Structure 1
Amino acid sequence: MNIIVVGNGKIGELLVQQLSKEGHDVVVVDSNAARIRSLEEKLDVSTVVGNGASIEILREAGAENCDILIAVSNSDEVNLLTALVAKKLGCEYTVARVRSPEYDREMNLLKTSFGINLSVNPEKTCAKEIFRLLQFPSFLTRNSFAGGRAEMVELIVPEEGKLTDRTLMDLAPLLDKKALICTIERGGEVLVPSGSTELRAGDKLAVAAATADLPFLLRRFGIPTLDVKQVMIVGGSATARYLATDLINAGLAVTIVESDREKCKALEDLLPKASIIHGDGSLQHLLAEEGIANMDAVVPLTGIDEENILISLYAHSVGTKKTITKVNRTEYLNLFGQEHLGAVVSPKSLTANEITRYTRAASQSREGSVETLHTIGGGAIEALGFTVPEEASFVNKPIMELPLKPSTLIASIVRNQKVIIPGGQDCLMRGDSIMVIASADRMISNFADIFRERGGEA
């Protein structure tokens, strides 16, 4: 596909890397010449220096013959105008990052007026992810499939418990066909386990289950649950505002620490039920004075990754049971044990996954295109959601007989609103919503791609 990416910031660069890796013809537009030169040295992509909202610049980038334009500059207004101009020039699909809460409230009208096929709001997406994690604090990630009926969650095997030093075969009665351990991350490597694989303390597991069975899962695994009632947010960003609103609406007590006095005043007006503290959240004595040790959860949301990591490490050291750390430079995570950082969210990665999923679906004209895309295992593994199309082959056959590609796993099936954790004898049916686990380098776009035969033909 011919794809134009306008804006080569954090999200733009990650998208360009992914789209280029998937074999698309990518043109990058950015007004910062130095940033463009740096990108040219790393990747084999075309570049144009200039304002992405300019008709002349977009024509130079090839918008008239473009399949998808993705506008992810730092300006909402530039992204909206870029999408509009690209659509007028003949671009088939447009994606725009729109971050402002004011624009977000009017997005349905804006999408119609500006011809936007997909809008993404990294801050809102990040806040929703954090809110979901606080509902089940024992999980490191929660990824939804089939309209929220099935989930892929990640958790750490504790030092002692029902999971530690046991093989998956031994755990079968414990799982009771209600969950499937799909991958194990250990020592920086991601394993697709077999029945003889033994779990070790510190392993990170990716587990598929019905959303309704998540409490059951924790009880069966012997993992203690935490009832979150008090949350401290450090940093008064847009993400913090979205998150605080959701938490307050859910009946939780929220404290926000923000160093900018004007932001504090704005937060007091927007969130009258929250406790707003004016001060530097990177100072340990301030956090101690504000009761960080008594909080059920601490969520650092400053704009500096290093600061967020240090705040989470401090919160862990004083006994805070749950921390959720926002970072964009995920290479930092290898320097610290995740048992100290807790859950980690990356607005950049969440947004890139959403846009990548859309581009794969847009590249497929037939049924069975990817509907949901999440990455696990540090990005090495993809969890994808599909609906089995009406013309699909390989239905009504036991999964154990299907010619699936190597290291490809069907993790869940949703049929008639019921979640099935499949065994080898279960079959796929037309109309099923399925979750598939596969290596990220396969770049699966369609249901048919999970089979060895080209196009999924028998």
Structure 2
Amino acid sequence: MYVVIVGAGEVGSAIADSLAGSHDVAVVDIDGDRVEELMYDIDVLGVTGDGAELETLREAGIADADILIASTNDDETNLVTCGTALTISDAFTISRVKEAKFLRTWERSAGAFGVNHMVATNLLTAETVTRVVGLPAAQDVETFSDGVVQMAEFEIRTGSPVADQTVATADRYESLTFAAILRGDGDAEEVVIPRGDTTIRAGDEVVVIGSPESVRSFAADIAPEVNGVKNVVVVGGSDVGYHTARLLQDRGLKPRLVEQDPVRARELAEELDGTTVLESDATDREFLERERIGDVDVVVAALDNDEKNLLACLLAKRLGADRAVAVVDTGEYVPLFEAVGVDVAVNPREATAEEITRFTRERQAENVAIIESDRAEVLEIEVGDDSVLAGRPIREAVADLPDGVVVGAITRDGELVIPRGDTVVEVGDHVVVFVGRESLDAATAAL
């Protein structure tokens, strides 16, 4: 597959890095130095120029492209790029936009703006935050098979009840599979496929797959101090803050939203009928004490400034808030935020890159979740006649799968089937599997 990516910023570069190993990729950007740097780091074709211009797209080979991804920092440029591409190409167009207003227009008319698929960064970020808030001990949460199966990633803290236990001892859940353990930091991080005698260590990040009930039970056991979330405060009436509050109230919660600007606060109060909007500075200690921030289950910082988000989170935690989730616009800051006390840092650009990458891969799978910036994936695949799993017990079939593949769950006619060694997989089953990055192409072909 040939993919043309317009925009070599954080989002475009992450998508290119993810796709270049298995597809032919061209990257277009007006910054020649950035293009040259990307060509040096990744095996891609680089083109310097304005991706919204016809001649630049011609130079990138748009006529032969299967997919065009417009991922610059400007919404209008991305929309024009997609429309321009369609004048000389049959490529499937994907546009990144920040504002949900473009998404609402696009949803009303298929193919509006010349876009086949649209990803709204602010809304996507709010959805990511909301999933994490819904399972407060988790670092990441995704659902599969229409909500029958859930995947979650948890950090095992020092003192956690499962720290220093073997997987066999920790595995006391009827419908849960320990799919992987992520151990170490940064480039030194390794993906460990757990066996019964594998010891779970403090500092590990554990990926589990199973029924939502079992995942919640596991979350309660590893972090017993984190109970069901009822009291949520959203700091900042940005577009992300607005969508976060709206999604939380849609789930039956009654969040509070703190916004300093009186005009914006009034607008939010009119639009969010299930949210209490407070006009104040969320870094004002006296205000936070009056609002009993120490009793809050989760504080979400969604201001338009990373440093203010960090300050708001740390102040809320210092006053007693159980957990803090911060929206962090600068990707390099994510590990810093989490190192100094923020429980989960959500980077909109990373979430967008993963969502676009996920969509390109869903052309081969029913659903995809990307783990730890593409170190691994969780795939949902419908089993066909030619799958190595079809009509075979899992214990026998795994011998024909590459290393680093774990069958996490099976759904059959909408019902969860717990995967065991003697479970026979049937044609038409939906199988949720964990796959390490090195095994992805081989595993997808076999499955």
**TM-score normalised to the size of structure 1?**
0.86
Aligned to 1:384: 379
Question: Is it true that 1:166 corresponds to 2:156 in the alignment?
Answer: no
Aligned-residue offset at 1:41: 4.8
| Matched-pair contact (CA < 8 Å) for 1:69–1:91 | no
Aligned to 1:408: 405
Moved more, 224-233 or 11-20: 224-233
Aligned-residue offset at 1:358: 2.6
Q: Deviations over 1:191-231 (max 9, x none)?
A: 22211112233432111111243344445667344233332
Aligned-residue offset at 1:30: 2.5
- Cα distance 1:47–1:202, how it changes in 2: closer, same or farther (>3 A)? closer
SS in 2 for 1:15: helix
2:443 is matched with which residue: 435, 444, 450?
Answer: 450
- Cα distance 1:72–1:214, how it changes in 2: closer, same or farther (>3 A)? same
SS in 1 for 2:357: helix
5+ residue gaps, structure 1, are 363-368
Moved more, 27-36 or 91-100: 27-36
Cα distance between partner residues in 2 of 1:356 and 1:30: 19
Moved more, 64-73 or 188-197: 188-197
- Cα distance 1:122–1:208, how it changes in 2: closer, same or farther (>3 A)? same
Aligned-residue offset at 1:317: 2.5
**TM-score normalised to the size of structure 2?**
0.88
| Matched-pair contact (CA < 8 Å) for 2:325–2:345 | yes
Cα distance between partner residues in 2 of 1:226 and 1:285: 27
Aligned to 1:241: 242
Cα distance between partner residues in 2 of 1:65 and 1:312: 48
Aligned to 1:10: 10
Aligned-residue offset at 1:161: 5.6
Identity of aligned residues (%): 29
The one-letter code matched in structure 1 to 2:323 is K
Moved more, 224-233 or 146-155: 224-233
| Matched-pair contact (CA < 8 Å) for 2:297–2:321 | yes
Cα distance between partner residues in 1 of 2:208 and 2:388: 28
Question: Is it true that 1:439 corresponds to 2:432 in the alignment?
Answer: no
Aligned-residue offset at 1:271: 2.9
Cα distance between partner residues in 2 of 1:50 and 1:258: 40
Aligned length: 441
5+ residue gaps, structure 2, are none
The one-letter code matched in structure 2 to 1:51 is D
- Cα distance 1:382–1:165, how it changes in 2: closer, same or farther (>3 A)? same
Cα distance between partner residues in 2 of 1:102 and 1:164: 46
2:416 is matched with which residue: 412, 415, 419?
Answer: 419
| Matched-pair contact (CA < 8 Å) for 2:209–2:215 | no
Aligned-residue offset at 1:153: 0.9
Aligned to 2:120: 121
Aligned to 1:356: 357
Cα distance between partner residues in 2 of 1:285 and 1:381: 45
SS in 2 for 1:228: coil
- Cα distance 1:286–1:37, how it changes in 2: closer, same or farther (>3 A)? farther
Aligned to 2:74: 75
Cα distance between partner residues in 2 of 1:49 and 1:269: 46
Q: Deviations over 1:271-321 (max 9, x none)?
A: 355444455545656645554323221111234444434433333232211
TM alignment of 1:216-295, pairs within 5 A: 216-218=217-219, 223-260=224-261, 262-271=263-272, 273-278=274-279, 280-281=281-282, 287-288=288-289, 290-295=291-296
Aligned-residue offset at 1:414: 1.0
Question: Is it true that 1:370 corresponds to 2:368 in the alignment?
Answer: no
* RMSD between superposed Cα atoms in Å: 2.9
| Matched-pair contact (CA < 8 Å) for 1:218–1:224 | no
| Matched-pair contact (CA < 8 Å) for 1:111–1:119 | no
Aligned-residue offset at 1:440: 1.7
Aligned to 1:150: 149
